[in-house]
């Protein structure tokens, strides 16, 4: 575990003060050149006044030129050193052609005059320089933590890209996305979140010393720019991961950061492209459930396709691109049809057939999931009426998302669709995975109870693959569970799987629920499941998901496997 070091947060951390940096930000080379010009201007003004016969016949204002130049180049510190020589020179040249009283009367006056003129130039420049530095600081640092931010990262990348190719390719960038920083902010406050981010920043700085620079890239992101040889990059990336495997103690409580890390090597010459690659790798790691991922070109293609898919979804919902296919569920004892599961299909105009496991997770990240679910329900009800006209009267099941179950308007919208298409609610079934329910079990159970009271059948999908569901199973208003295909594939050859499936069937029946087995592909599986007491089956042995126009033909030709063959011993 790590402990937080006390430090000052916010804009004051390292912020320029109006009482420091009196000298403007000018390069040393320009200062040296300016100093030479100032000396030459002294010489030129003095020569002019000497040859002209004094200040009355010449142009004494020329002596202000070096004072003004010094004020511009050196700010307030340059005023007095330039004003005194100018006053001495012009007084000396004036006294050469007059009496010595000028030293007593004119020297103090001219000195004060030149100082005032110099200050009138230097002080506004100083104030301008101060606010320029302050603005630059604010632009380069995060306002909450005071840590180097996005602009500072981009400036450093610009410098790296100007380096020789062999040095540039030895560098890498990591983008660290902290997924639960908003939860921390809501629980402990934004200042606490900033303190914790700063603590992580300090741990990364301490771990890499001079081999990397760390930036507070976004509110929920840190970025680490590595300066390393290729053979050390793996070691350094592991160092980052180790830091996020430890908790940080805040007010006596261990705080864990749920982070995903994306790495990208520095190639090309576009700083934004490098950052985008690291971000894509971080997003990929999150989607895959990995701690970290190294960027590959395939990620860019996936990201582009994802944008195309999301951009075309609204049009797809109102066109023929999105359709429903239907997979039958069969009673294992009688072989009769007991329902269809509606499965979405997307025939994209440019990407072709897009599988559901590709586009549905994308939809679930957005508010479009509500429109998509309502489209699926409405389309399923339309198809139900079509099946009914053809003499196929059975339940149609539609998959739901956890997002639907936290939408208070969802039950009302379902009632509206049932009334609109004049479908009895007993012919509609909703399937939802146990993992989806466990995201917000209390709210999910509340909405599911409202739906089951209509009454609509509730089915727990992919049973056995989630977690913590047994504690809530007896509370769920479910009418059946669906055993995941992963338990069915080797059930004939694995006695352990048979025992698990048998126990699940007994448990469900004891709670008054029926059991559907998914992924049934062989007659042996079909017969064994019937012997174990499973109620229904679904899988390629029975039928693949079919479009509407193939349903009637399948229904007329369907013959259940013989149930008189030898049965396996459980």
Residue 306 predicted with pLDDT over 90: no
Residue 232 predicted with pLDDT over 70: no
Residue 566 predicted with pLDDT over 60: no
Q: Which of 1-15, 62-76, 225-239, 450-464 is predicted least confidently? A: 1-15
Q: Work out the average pLDDT over 24-32.
A: 74
**pLDDT class for 568, splitting at 50, 70, 90?**
very low
Residue 102 predicted with pLDDT over 70: no
404/370 Cα distance (integer angstroms): 6
Residue ranges and CATH numbers for the domains of the chain are 28-140 (no CATH), 150-295 (3.30.70.270), 320-557 (3.20.20.450)
Say if strands 259-265 and 292-294 run parallel, antiparallel, or are unpaired: parallel
CB 224 within 8 A of CB 240: yes
**pLDDT class for 164, splitting at 50, 70, 90?**
low
Average pLDDT, the chain: 83
Q: Where are the alpha helices (DSSP H) in 97-244?
A: 102-140, 150-161, 165-168, 181-188, 190-208, 230-244
Among the options 106, 431, 518, 530, which is catalytic?
518
Q: What are residue 281's DSSP bridge partners? A: none
What are the C-alpha distances in Å from 67 to residues 88, 105, 121, 201, 438?
Answer: 13, 21, 10, 46, 76
**pLDDT class for 100, splitting at 50, 70, 90?**
low
Q: Which two tokens stand for residue 359?
A: 């586009």
- 148 or 85: which carries more pLDDT confidence? 148
pLDDT at 563: 46
Q: Which two tokens stand for residue 35?
A: 């100093």
Percent of the chain with pLDDT over 70: 86
- Positive or negative, the CA dihedral 18, 22, 24, 29 is negative
Residue 229 predicted with pLDDT over 60: no
CA atoms in the 13 A half-sphere facing the CB of 307: 6
Is the backbone peptide bond immediately before 409 cis, with ω within 30 degrees of 0? no
At 226, phi and psi to the nearest 5? -90, 140
3-state secondary structure of 343: strand
Q: Work out the average pLDDT over 10-23.
A: 49
3-state secondary structure of 428: strand
CB 436 within 8 A of CB 346: no
Q: What are residue 538's DSSP bridge partners? A: 518
CB 261 within 8 A of CB 280: no
Overall size of the chain counted in residues: 570
**pLDDT class for 252, splitting at 50, 70, 90?**
confident
User: Rounded to a whole number, what is the largest CA-CA distance in the chain?
Assistant: 138
Which residues, other chains included, contact 172 with Cβ-Cβ below 8 Å and sequence gap of 6+? 225, 226, 228, 233, 236, 237, 263, 264, 265, 266
Predicted confidence (pLDDT) per residue in 399-448, tens digit: 999 889 888 899 999 999 999 999 999 999 999 987 778 778 888 889 99
Residue 489 predicted with pLDDT over 50: yes
Enter the pTM of the model: 0.65
DSSP 8-state secondary structure symbol assigned to residue 426: G
- Letter string b/e over residues 412-428, b meaning 16 or more CB atoms within 10 A of that residue's CB: ebbeebbeeeebebebb
518 a catalytic residue: yes
283/288 Cα distance (integer angstroms): 9
CA-closest candidate to residue 266, choices 176, 200, 175, 178: 175
Reported as type and span, the H/E element at residue 509 is helix 495-510
Residue 7 predicted with pLDDT over 50: no
Residue 374 predicted with pLDDT over 50: yes
CB 545 within 8 A of CB 327: yes
Residue 56 predicted with pLDDT over 70: no
Q: Which of 217-226, 289-298, 538-547 has the highest mean pLDDT?
A: 538-547
């Amino acid at each position: 575990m790590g402990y937080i070091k006390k430090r000052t947060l916010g804009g004051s951390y390292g912020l320029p003060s109006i009482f420091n940096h009196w000298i403007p930000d000018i390069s040393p080379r320009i200062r040296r050149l300016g100093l030479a010009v100032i000396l030459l201007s002294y010489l030129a003004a003095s020569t002019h006044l000497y040859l002209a016969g004094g200040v009355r016949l010449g142009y004494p204002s020329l002596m202000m030129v070096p004072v003004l130049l010094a004020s511009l180049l050196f700010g307030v510190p340059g005023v007095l050193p330039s004003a005194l020589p100018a006053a001495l020179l012009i007084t000396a040249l004036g006294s050469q052609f007059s009496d010595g009283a000028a030293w007593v009367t004119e020297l103090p006056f001219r000195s004060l005059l030149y100082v005032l003129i110099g200050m009138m130039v230097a002080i506004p420049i100083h104030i301008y320089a101060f606010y320029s530095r302050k603005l630059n600081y604010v632009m380069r640092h995060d306002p909450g933590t005071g840590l180097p931010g996005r602009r500072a990262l981009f400036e450093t990348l610009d410098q790296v890209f100007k380096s020789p190719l062999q040095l540039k390719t030895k560098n890498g960038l990591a983008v660290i996305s902290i997924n639960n920083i908003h939860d921390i902010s809501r629980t402990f406050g934004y200042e606490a979140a900033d303190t914790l981010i700063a603590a992580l920043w300090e741990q990364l700085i301490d771990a890499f010393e001079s081999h990397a620079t760390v930036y507070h890239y976004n509110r929920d992101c840190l970025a680490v720019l590595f300066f390393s040889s290729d053979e050390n990059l793996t070691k350094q990336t592991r160092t980052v991961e180790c830091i996020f495997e430890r908790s940080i103690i805040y007010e006596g409580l261990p705080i864990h950061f749920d982070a995903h890390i994306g790495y990208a090597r520095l190639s090309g010459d576009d700083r934004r492209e490098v950052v985008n690659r690291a971000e894509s790798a971080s997003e990929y790691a999150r989607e895959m459930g990995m701690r970290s991922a190294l960027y590959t070109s395939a990620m860019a293609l996936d990201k582009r396709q994802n944008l195309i898919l999301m951009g075309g979804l609204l049009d797809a919902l109102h066109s023929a691109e999105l359709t429903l296919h239907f997979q039958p569920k069969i009673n294992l004892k009688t072989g009769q049809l007991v329902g269809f599961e509606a499965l979405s299909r997307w025939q994209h105009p440019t990407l072709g057939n897009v599988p559901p496991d590709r586009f549905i997770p994308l939809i679930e990240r957005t508010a479009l999931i509500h429109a998509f679910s309502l489209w699926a329900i409405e389309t399923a009800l339309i198809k139900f009426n079509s099946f009914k006209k053809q003499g196929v009267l059975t339940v149609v099941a539609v998959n739901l998302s956890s997002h639907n179950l936290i939408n208070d308007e969802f039950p009302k919208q379902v009632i509206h669709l049932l009334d609109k298409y004049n479908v009895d609610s007993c012919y509609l079934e909703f399937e939802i995975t146990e993992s989806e329910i466990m995201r917000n079990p209390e709210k999910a159970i509340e909405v599911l109870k409202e739906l089951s009271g209509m009454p609509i059948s509730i089915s727990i999908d992919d049973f056995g693959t989630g977690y913590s569901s047994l504690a809530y199973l007896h509370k769920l208003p479910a009418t059946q569970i669906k055993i995941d295909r992963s338990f069915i594939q080797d059930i004939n050859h694995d006695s352990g799987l048979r025992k698990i499936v048998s126990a699940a069937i007994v448990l469900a029946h004891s709670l008054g629920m029926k059991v559907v087995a998914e992924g049934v592909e062989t007659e042996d599986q079909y017969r064994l499941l019937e012997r174990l007491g499973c109620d229904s089956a679904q899988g390629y042995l029975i039928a693949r998901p079919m479009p509407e126009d193939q349903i009637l033909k399948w229904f007329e030709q369907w013959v259940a496997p013989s149930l008189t063959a030898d049965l396996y011993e459980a």
